[in-house]
Structure 1
Amino acid sequence: MTHLHRSLVRAQLAVARALRSAAPRRERGDVPGWVLITLMTAGLVAVLWAVAEDQLKAMFTDALDSARR
């Protein structure tokens, strides 16, 4: 697990904990859609980064090198 992936997982857990503690205890409604979309997007980015980290770094380096020319 990469450092970025660990950081994203920690951030997701912190958001989930904050949402649980901020919500009034008597309300047991659904999680808002924007929260689910945000968490799913962060998870997708973490998975893609873990799978394609070397290729993403190479693409970024190539893009910077071509911009410098």
Structure 2
Amino acid sequence: MSITRTLSARLHAAGHHLAARGTRRAERGDVPGWVLITLMTAGLVTALWVVAKDQLLTMFQSALSSVSG
């Protein structure tokens, strides 16, 4: 009976180890996606700033003047 428990415990531990290893790989593979999203967001903000700089500054100054009175 102890051989069965030992084998079962070893199989359980091996399965747990493999599952954790697969999870780490999945998380590790997601990093380039986040990098791409960050770079694309920075690119969009830069493009909008280049195109609408004057309008954005006017809106910002208007908002500040309305708050400060």
Give the shorter-chain TM-score range. 0.5 to 0.7
Q: Partners of 1:53 and 1:46 in 2: how far apart?
A: 10
Higher RCO by CA contacts (8 Å cutoff, separation 6 or greater): 1
1:35 corresponds in structure 2 to 35
Q: Deviations over 1:7-43 (max 9, x none)?
A: xxxxxxxxxxxxxxxxxxxxxx897110000000000
Q: TM-score, normalised by structure 2?
A: 0.55
1:55 corresponds in structure 2 to 55
1:5 corresponds in structure 2 to none
| RMSD, aligned α-carbons | 1.8
Task: Say whether 1:44 aligns with 2:44.
Answer: yes
Q: Specify whether residues 31 and 65 from structure 1 end up closer, same or farther in structure 2 by C-alpha distance, changes over 3 A only.
A: same
Task: Say whether 1:68 aligns with 2:68.
Answer: yes
Number of aligned residues: 41
Please identify the structure whose Cα radius of gyration is greater: 2
Q: TM-score, normalised by structure 1?
A: 0.55
Structure 1 unaligned segments of length 5 or more: list them.
1-28
| Structure 1 ranges of 4+ moved more than 6 A | none
User: Identical aligned pairs, as a percentage?
Assistant: 71
Structure with higher helix content: 2
Structure 2 unaligned segments of length 5 or more: list them.
1-28
